[in-house]
Amino acid sequence: MAVPVAVLDCDLLLYGRGHRTLDRFKLEDVTDEYLVSTYGFPRQFIYYLVDLLGASLSRPTQRSRAISPETQILAALGFYTSGSFQTRMGDAIGISQASMSRCVANVTEALVERASQFIHFPEDEATVQSLKDDFYGLAGMPGVLGVVDCTHVAIKAPNAEDLSYVNRKGLHSLNCLLVCDARGLLLSAETHWPGSMPDCAVLQQAALTSQFETELHKDGWLLGDSSFSLRTWLMTPLHIPETPAEYRYNMAHSATHNVIERTLRTIRSRFRCLDGSKGTLQYSPEKSGHIILACCVLHNISLQHGLDVWSALATGHVEQPEEEYEQMESMDSEACRIRQELLLTHFS
């Protein structure tokens, strides 16, 4: 006689039908303050994400109690913004660790699929000019299209043999190359580079370099710190300023470039899964890179929704692997000429 085999739902076994899960939880039943404190964002922002990602998160399933897009998004936001281990966050919202992992993975991939929609350089002339005007208003540095920097995010060791992710502090990390505008909106995000690569090597191989050298922006430049070498499209500070004009240039450069440093602190403060205080990201380098990129997408969406108030939280220093570097000397005579012309025209 055949014995029927039941397919058991792990969430149903763990909590039972009477448990109050987020599939029965209504956003309108709680305050914005509760949603912000628990999941990092207010109600209307969460509704927007449900509309944006709902189709991707509502895949066909044979499970009788498939987790709703709303619940998946809340679960992922809770993990991104709290940095809590998945078991703890899963317990808090009434789903198992396995389901929590699926929620984070599903929402992460849905956000990564939309990265180019939210992270990109402007293309129309009016927006590009507005970008330059915003930067010029900060400290008088003309022609700036973005500020660029690298930051390390700690990850678990991929395996015993792979040393490419070990940075100069002996920690495993991803080195992420980010560009932002004067508001802190990200214009480019490459989050997959191994931690052993110095910033200059990351930029050398980055899609960003190909983009600027072959496609666009011949009438402007990015600003980078001394870990990068001077290029026709990347202005760096002078190593040893001597004249008043050189001092003024370096001061304007530093004040303008500080935007990316504040932005990095804001992202780490908002998305505590990245700041290292709760430990490293417990995923493969590929999945960790996707989580970082998903957080970058959410950062941009939040700014576009007017949630700049988060910047006020990013005032403290967050420990991270610091990149030690020597002053990069440029061998590009055309880049040196452009910087010198900038000095003479705007800072003399």
pLDDT, tens only, 211-234: 998 875 568 999 999 999 999 999
Mark whether 153 and 274 lie in a shared domain: yes
- Mean pLDDT lowest for which of 25-34, 82-91, 148-157, 245-254? 82-91
Task: Report CA Rg, the chain.
Answer: 23
- Alpha helices, H only, the chain: 10-15, 32-39, 43-57, 69-82, 86-93, 97-113, 115-118, 125-139, 199-205, 207-214, 244-270, 285-304, 333-342
| Between 56 and 12, the higher pLDDT residue | 56
Residue 220 lies in a domain: yes
Strand partners, 222: 146, 234
- What is the pLDDT of the chain when averaged over all its residues? 84
Q: Do residues 106 and 128 both lie within one domain?
A: no
Number of domains in the chain: 2
- Measured from the Cβ of residue 324, the count of other Cβ atoms closer than 10 Å reads 10
Q: Can you give the pTM of this predicted structure? A: 0.86
- Residues 109, 139 within the same domain: no
Shared-domain flag, residues 183 and 274: yes
Lowest mean pLDDT, pick from 26-30, 192-196, 295-299? 26-30
Specify if 317 maps to a domain: no
pLDDT digits (tens, 9 = 90+) for 26-62: 677 778 888 888 888 999 999 999 999 999 998 655 4
Q: Are residues 192 and 333 in the same domain?
A: yes
| 231 in the same domain as 131 | yes
- Asked whether residue 167 is assigned to any structural domain, the reply reads yes
Looking at the domain assignment, is residue 52 inside a domain? yes
Q: Is 127 within the bounds of a domain?
A: yes
Range of the domain at 242: 119-284+328-347
| pLDDT for residue 182 is more than 70 | yes
Q: What pLDDT does 277 receive?
A: 73
pLDDT digits (tens, 9 = 90+) for 268-283: 999 999 987 767 898 9
Residue 93 falls within a domain, yes or no? yes
